[in-house]
Amino acid sequence: MVLGLVLMIFRLAYRIWLGRFWVEDAWAGVAFLCRVAAFTSCWTYTKAVGEEGIISFWVYSFTFPSVVWAVRQSILFSIIRIVYTTQHLRRLIFCLAGLFLGLWAGLVAQKAWHYGHNTCWYQTTRKVHILMTQPMIMFELITDCLSDTILIILPLRLLWSLRLPKRQKRMILAIFSSSIIVTIISIFRGVCQISKYITVLALTTDFETALSLLVCNLLVIVTLLYRIISSAGADDSISIDDDDYTTRITTGGVFTT
């Protein structure tokens, strides 16, 4: 969890330093703030009682899914950043961003209505996630799988036909495909929620948000390391003048600024 936050701080500072801070970095910043709020509320929830515990539960219930969905928005807009986009593709990605916002809002609205409609759980203890109904769990699981599938298939489809050196192409495809790991964790979390494995569930949710932050930063961090290593190896196919590889890819098969 700490590693994900440290990498996020480095990523945001690095992008600002380069003067390339854009929409995907802003969404990454939203994910960072939500993760800090989720971690703080989870920690205070274990210590607090009464009204403080209730407030901490509300904050955690909303900030946990917000981390994951903000990361998805960041990855989605990263596709615009690195792939040469036509007007049609740009509209498609903006429509997908709107879809993600709708699914995110639907999940938050479900939780707000369910937790606020019947407040008898205020008098109980150890209530994390166990209050979610099975339809809510299934909705969350389906939206997780749908959105992650889009984030895996879309960049693979766009990058597959580009004429890039094999090493660069494999690296970028592997970075975007890493979202499948988050999907697997989401499915496991859904099983834990349905089976009411509370102890395992708490660890799974923390691991999912931490892993989401890592996946969010992979494109910037890994490509930065790749540039450093390539520069040290005097690879003529790489432009040392490029500050990073989160820039557009032309159909000519080279990374450009």
Q: Which of 27-41, 49-63, 154-168 has the lowest mean pLDDT?
A: 154-168
pLDDT at 55 over 90: no
What's the pLDDT score for residue 83?
67
Q: Which residue has the higher pLDDT, 162 or 67?
A: 67
Question: What is the maximal distance between C-alpha atoms in the chain?
Answer: 67
What pLDDT shows up at residue 44? 78
Indicate whether this model's pTM tops 0.75: yes
Name the pLDDT band for 196 (thresholds 50, 70, 90).
confident
- Confidence at 251, pLDDT banded by 50, 70, 90: very low
Other Cβ atoms within 10 Å of 115 Cβ, number: 19
For residue 27, the model assigns a pLDDT of 93
Q: How far apart are CA 214 and CA 208, in angstroms?
A: 10
User: Would you list the DSSP string of 62-96?
Assistant: HHHHHHHHHHHHHHHHHHHHHB---HHHHHHHHHH
The pair of structure tokens assigned to 217 is: 């930063």
pLDDT tens digits along 140-194: 889 988 998 888 888 777 777 666 667 777 777 777 777 788 888 888 888 888 8
Residues facing 83 on adjacent strands: 249
pLDDT band with cut points at 50, 70 and 90 for residue 126 = low
Rounded-to-integer distance, Cα 49 and Cα 67, Å: 25
Placement of tokens 């859904």 in the chain: 190
Q: Which residues of 137-151 are buried (b: 16+ CB within 10 A; e: fewer)?
A: bebbbebbeebbebb
Residue percentage of the chain with pLDDT more than 90: 13
